[in-house]
Amino acid sequence: MRKNLLFIVTAALVLISIYLIFFVAPIPSTPAIVWGERSDYKIFYFHLPIAISTYVSFAIVFACSILYLRKKKQKWDIIGSSAAEIGVVFAFLTLVTGSIWGKSAWNGYWDPTDERLNTSLVLFLIYLAYLMVRQGVEEPEKRARLSAVFGIVGFISVPISFLSVRFYAKTHPCVVPPCPSGGGGGIGGDVLIFLLVNFAAFFLLTASLILMRIDNEKLKENINELKRARNL
């Protein structure tokens, strides 16, 4: 019942936020916070929440990996793997939306000299490898242990990606404080309000998708146990 309510609220908030961003949310007029064509700024309302949702998903993988190694309970492996799948999807969408925005801002889909872009790509590839490792190991306990170690070690790519814009990135703007120049990229007023609405929508969407994947993984594990029992 609670899950169904969450899914309904999430769907409603996502639809509302999409409408608000495309038809109500303002396009900033301050030059310091507009990169490229002003009309392309709309994608920022999606890009930032998707990127932060990626970090949150991988943080869940990290926490569940530690809990699995400590408690050896399968539920932590299931939650971690589910969060990793959603995180990889969001990481891909982060790269896509960032590239679309970059085409307008930098006249190119990719700036190979920018560390934020490169570290985001590495982040995506690391957790894609995490999922591939899981697919390559059939024995449940061995797969869970290996995934947990991978999930802990691989998490170092998250703070590196997040902090890269503060220390190394040459072209990527810093919009989440603290920033080297101070403030948060000049975001405020009505822009911040609509951005926070979309943050809420994507955080709920992240939670909903992870819960759906957890249910699917539990069902798959039950089916696999029945198959293994039949083969004994």
pLDDT band at 30 (very low <50, low <70, confident <90, very high): very low
Per residue in 171-199, pLDDT (tens digit) is 666 666 556 554 445 566 778 889 899 99
User: What is the reported pLDDT for 33?
Assistant: 44
Asked, for residue 35, whether it belongs to a domain, the answer is no
User: What is the reported pLDDT for 163?
Assistant: 84
Global pTM reads: 0.86
The mean predicted confidence, pLDDT, of the chain is 84
Domain hosting residue 128, numbered range: 2-17+41-174+182-231
pLDDT band at 111 (very low <50, low <70, confident <90, very high): confident
Say how many C-beta atoms besides its own lie within 10 A of residue 39's C-beta: 9
Asked if the model's pLDDT at residue 164 lies above 50, the reply is yes
Q: Is 230 helix (H, G, I), strand (E, B) or coil?
A: helix
User: What is the reported pLDDT for 3?
Assistant: 87
Per residue in 7-20, pLDDT (tens digit) is 999 999 999 999 99
Spatial distance between the Cα atoms of 76 and 99, rounded to a whole number of angstroms: 34
Per residue in 54-69, pLDDT (tens digit) is 999 999 999 999 999 9
Domain count, the chain: 1
Spatial distance between the Cα atoms of 133 and 137, rounded to a whole number of angstroms: 7
- Distances, alpha carbon 223 to alpha carbons 33, 216, 228, in Å: 52, 11, 9
Asked, for residue 28, whether it belongs to a domain, the answer is no
- What value does the mean pLDDT take over residues 205-220? 92
